[in-house]
Chains A and B, each alone.
Chain A
Amino acid sequence: MKVKTSHTSALKRITALTAASLASLLALSGCATTPAEEAAVVGEETSQEVVVRTLNLAIAGTPPSFDPAGLDLGESTLIWASVYDTLTYVDETNTVQPNIAREWSFSADGLTVTFLLRDDAVFSTGETLTAADAAATIEYSKATAGTTQALLSAVDSAEAVDDTTLVLTLNRPDASLLVNLGQSAGVIAPAALLGDPSLALSPVGSGPYILSAESVTGANYILERRDDHWNVEFYDYNTVTLRVFEDAQAISNALQAGEIDSALIDASAAEAVAAAGVNLQRIESIAVGGIFFIDKQGAIVPALADVRVRQAINLAFDRNLIVEKTLLGFGIPSVQLFNPSSTAFNSGLLGTYDYDTAAAIALMAEAGYADGFAVKMPSSFLSAPHEPVITTSLGAIGIAVEWVPIPPQEIASSLFSGQYGLVFFFNGYSVPPRDADAMLSPSGFLAGGYSDDQLAALFATANGATDAASQGAAYQAISAYAVEQALHAPLFAIAVNRANKAGVGWLPQSASTQNLRFFVAE
C-alpha cells in the first residue's frame, strides 16, 4: 500500500511538473509581441469604396539595426526604406529622382549642394519633417561608426538654412552622392531621437509605412501603410508582412505552399517553384563575381604587380562554361567590373579575355613565371562552390592555390588582413560611381589601396562629369582601363530569380536597390 501511494503520488507530481513546464514554455514563446495573422494569399478585401491589399514577402536573414547609422543595403532595405523617407529616390531604372528633396543645385565647383525640401512630410510621431532633422541625421551618421558612415565620406557638413533648405558642403566632388542620398545616407529621422537605442529596433520616420508593434524581431516585420503619406499613391499594399527565412529551401517551400507572395530564390529552386504556378522574373546582373587582386603592389604576392600575370589569370578562365555549369545559366560571362545594363558597360571590351590557356601560359613565361607560383586564398561559403574551377583553371597556368578556411565573421577582414594577395568575392552592383569607388578607387575595400596616375586622372574626369552622357563615357573609360590593366579578374555578372505569385508585379529589371514601391498589384 505504501508503495502504491508513493508511486501514484510520484506519477501525479511528475505529471503536474510536466504540465506546468509546458505551460510556462508556451508562455515564454509568447512573451514577445506576436505577429498579426498573415494572409495566405495576396488578399484583397473590397468594399464599395476601399480596396485593402496585403502582401507577404520572404527575406533571407534577420535585418540588422534600423538606426540610420547602421542600415544594411540588402533585403532589409524593404523595411527601413518604407519607414524612413530619403532625400532622393533611386527608381527602378537606377535613375535618381526627387523625394523629400524637391530639387537641388550644385555650386560651380561641385563642393556645395543646396536642397529644397518638401514641407508636407510628417513623422509618424506627428511632427513635421524639417531641414534641421535632415541635417542632424546626416551629421549623426557621419559621426557614428556604422555602415552608413562610408557613404557620407565626401560630406564635410550639413546645415539647415531654414525649415525647407538644406546645404551640404563637400570635401570633394562625389558622383555617387545623389545615389547615396537615395539610400541609407539620405534617411531622415527625428533629430530628437537620434542616438536613442530604441531606434535600432523600432525606427521612427516619415515614410509611407510604420513598423507595427506586433512585429517580432528576427521573425516577422509587419508594415502598415500610412494613408496620409504625401506619396501614398505609389504604394499599392496596405499591409506588408516580411518573414525571415534562414534557408533557401524553406523559402521555396513557402512559395509552393502559397504562404508567401514574392521572394528571391536560388536557381536550383526555380523549376519546383514554377511548377507550383508561381511566376518567375529573372533579374539580371545583381552582382559581379570574380577574383579581386587585393595586392597589385606585389607586397604579398610579387607576381601580381606584373600586369602580364594578371592578364594571364584573366585568360585562364572559361567564363561561358562557369556560367553554364556553376551558375546553372543564371549569369552573364563578363570581363568588366560594371553592371552590363549600366551606362558604364563598355561593349567594345567584349572578347578581351576569351578563354585561352596557351596565351595565358605564354604571358606567364614572358613575365618570368614559367614555373608558376603558389598563392593562398581565403575559403568561405562565398568561394566554396567556385573553388574547384578556380583551382583547376589557375593550376593549368602554373598557379597553385592553397585555400585557407576562414570563419564567416572574418570574410570582410580577410580583405584587409595582409595575408591574401587575391580573393574570390562578390560585389553587389550599385551605380557606376559607387561600384568604381568600391573596386577601383584607392579607398575602395576591394582595391587594396592601389592607384596610378592614369587611374587617378580617369577618376577625376568621372567625378567632374555633371550629366549622364559624360558620366557614362567617363566610367566606360575607367572600365576599359581596368580591363586593359587587368586590375581584377571578373568572371560573371550573376542573375537571380524573383518569384511572384499571380497578381504581384515587380518593376525593376535589375536590383541595385529594393523598395516596396517596386511591388505593384496587377
Chain B
Amino acid sequence: MLLYILRRLLLAVVLAILVTLITFLLLSPSFDSIVRSSLGTGASAEAVAQRVDDLGLNRPLMVQYLSWLVGAVTGDFGVSIFTNEPVGPAVIQRLGITLSIVFSALLISVIISVTLGVLAATRGGAIDRFAQSVSLTGLLVPSLLVAVFLVFVFAITLGWLPAGGYKSFFDDPGAWAASVTLPVIALAVTGIANMSNQVRGTMIDELRKDYVRTLRSRGISSRSIVYKHALRNAGGPALTVLGFEFLGMLGAALFIERVFALPGYGTFAFNASLRGDLPVILGITLFAVFLTVIVNFVIDIANGILNPKARLY
C-alpha cells in the first residue's frame, strides 16, 4: 500500500511538472502583451520594459520556470501580476468554495442515482421508464439552462432563495445552505442523469448473473441480494463514472459560478486565463493536476475496498 501511494505521488509530481512547464512555455510568447495589459493602454514602452524587468520575465525561460518551481515546492506560488494577491491562499480559498458545491452536488447525485438506478433495475416497468426519462432529460438539458431556470423561478419570481453570492458555512450554516442550494441542484442534474443510467445498467447485468440465482435458491432475501451483493459488485463501474463526473462538475462549475456570482475556482481560473495572469495560471494548473490525481487515487482505493480483486496495491 505504501509503495502504491509513493508511486501515485511520484506520478502526480511528474505530471504536475510536465503540465505546468508546457503551460508556461505556451504563455511565454505573450509575456510582453500580458505586462502591457496589466499596465493599461497608456503605458509607455519604457514602463512595459521596466515592469517586465521587475517581474523577471526577461530572464531565460528555464530560469524563470525553475525559479517558480522552487518557490512552489516551498509553498510560495507567487502573487498575481494584476492584483498582487498571493496565489496559494487565493486558489485554496476559491477551491474550497467550488469543491463545497461540487461535493454537495456529487453527494446528492449519488444518493438519487443509486436509488433511481436500483429501483429501475429491480422493479422495471413504470419506474424504469421514469428513470430513463429523467436520465435522458438531464443529459439533454445543459446545466447552464437549468441554472438560469432555477434562478428565475426560485430567486426572482418566488424569492425563496438568493439569486447569487456565497456565504461561508462557518459564518452562517443556514445562509450557506441557502446560497448553495440552487447551484448544487443545477450541477446535480447532469450527475444524476449520467450515474443513474450507469447504476441501472450495471445492476441489470449483475441481477442476471448466476450467483444471484444461486443466492435466491438458498433463500437469501431479495433485499439482501440487491443491496449486499449485486449493488456492491455494480459499484466498481459506478465509482469510475463518479470520478469522471467529479471532474466534469468541476469544469461545469465555471458556468454555474458565473450565473450565481460565486467567487469560486472556475471563475478565478477563467479570469486568470483571459488576462494571462501567469503566476495564477501556473498555480491553478498545479492544483488541478494534484486534484485529478487525488480523485483517481481515491476512486482506486474505493474500488479496492469494494472489490479486493480489483486492488492495485
Contacts and interface: CB of A to CB of B under 8 A. Distances in A.
Contact of A256 (B163, B258, B261): B163
Contacts of B159: 257-258
A27 interface: yes
Interface stretch (A131-139, A331-339, A347-355, A411-419): A411-419
A180 to B, nearest CB: 11
Given A25-B100, A145-B54, A150 B33 contact: no
Interface in A239-260: 243-247, 249-251, 253-254, 256-259
B269 to A, nearest CB: 12
Interface centre among A29, A38, A200 (most CB of B within 10 A): A29
With most chain B CB atoms within 10 A of its CB, the pick from A22, A153, A443, A446 is: A22
A201 B84 CA distance: 7
Contact of A147 (B39, B176, B306): B39
Given A25-B100, A409-B30, A253 B42 contact: no
A408 B96 contact: no
A31 B92 CA distance: 8
A6 to B, nearest CB: 8
B32 interface: yes
Q: Interface size for chain B: under 10, 10 to 19, 20 to 34, or 35 or more residues?
A: 35 or more
B114 interface: no
B108 interface: no
A218 B266 CA distance: 13
B268 interface: yes
Given A31-B92, A244-B261, 14 more contacts: A10-B306, A26-B169, A28-B100, A29-B168, A30-B169, A31-B96, A67-B84, A145-B54, A147-B39, A243-B261, A246-B271, A256-B156, A412-B41, A443-B44
Contacts of A197: 79, 84
A28 B92 contact: yes
Interface in A139-168: 145-147, 149-151, 153
Contacts of A102: none
A32 B171 contact: no
A30 B170 contact: yes
Interface of A: 4, 6-7, 10, 13-14, 17-18, 21-22, 25-32, 34, 37-38, 61-65, 67, 70, 72, 145-147, 149-151, 153, 197, 200-201, 216-219, 243-247, 249-251, 253-254, 256-259, 276, 407-413, 415-416, 438, 443, 445-446
B263 A26 contact: no
A417 to B, nearest CB: 8
A244 B259 contact: no
Nearest to A3: B228
Contacts of A67: 84
15 contacts: A28-B96, A29-B168, A32-B93, A34-B168, A38-B165, A146-B47, A153-B44, A200-B84, A201-B84, A218-B90, A246-B261, A250-B163, A250-B258, A250-B259, A253-B156
A150 B44 contact: yes
**7 shortest interchain CB distances as A-B pairs:** A28-B96, A29-B96, A200-B84, A409-B276, A219-B263, A150-B42, A413-B33
Nearest to A21: B103
B25 interface: no
Contacts of B50: 145
Given A151-B42, A216-B263, A259 B163 contact: yes
A170 B155 CA distance: 56
Nearest to B40: A147
Interface in B262-278: 263, 267-268, 270-271, 274-276
Interface of B: 30, 32-34, 36-45, 47-48, 50-51, 54, 79, 82-85, 89-90, 92-97, 99-100, 103-104, 107, 148, 151-152, 155-156, 159, 162-172, 175-176, 228, 232, 257-261, 263, 267-268, 270-271, 274-276, 298, 302, 305-306, 308
Nearest to A56: B165
Contacts of B263: 216, 218-219, 244
Contact of A254 (B99, B103, B261, B298): B261
Contacts of A438: 41-42
Nearest to B93: A32
A489 B51 CA distance: 33
A28 B165 CA distance: 17
Given A197-B84, A256-B163, A276-B156, A28 B42 contact: no
B185 to A, nearest CB: 16
A486 to B, nearest CB: 22
Contact of B37 (A34, A149, A250, A412): A412
A64 B82 contact: yes
A513 to B, nearest CB: 16
Report which residue of B33, B47, B167, B271 has the largest number of chain A beta carbons within 10 angstroms of its beta carbon.
Answer: B33
Contacts of B40: 72, 147, 150, 412
A217 B85 contact: yes
Q: Is the interface of B mostly helix, strand, loop or mixed?
A: helix
B205 to A, nearest CB: 20
- Chain B CB within 10 Å, residue with most, of A38, A243, A256, A257: A257
A172 to B, nearest CB: 15
Contact of B83 (A32, A62, A253, A443): A62
Given A31-B92, A200-B83, A413-B36, A149 B103 contact: no
Given A27-B96, A246-B267, A32 B89 contact: yes
B156 to A, nearest CB: 5
B60 to A, nearest CB: 22
Contact of B261 (A7, A25, A245, A445): A245
B165 A243 contact: yes
A22 B268 contact: no
A415 B298 CA distance: 49
A26 B96 contact: yes
A26 B99 CA distance: 8
Contacts of B308: 6
Contacts of B175: 37
Given A21-B103, A197-B84, A409 B37 contact: yes
B170 to A, nearest CB: 4
Contacts of A257: 155-156, 159, 162-163
Nearest to B270: A246
Contacts of B79: 197
Contacts of B94: 218
Nearest to B44: A150
Nearest to B170: A30
Contacts of B33: 409-410, 412-413
A446 B298 CA distance: 54
Contacts of B148: 249
Contacts of A217: 83, 85, 90
B77 to A, nearest CB: 15
Contacts of B39: 145-147, 149
A259 B159 CA distance: 10
B297 to A, nearest CB: 12
A284 B274 CA distance: 29
A22 B99 CA distance: 9
Nearest to A251: B261
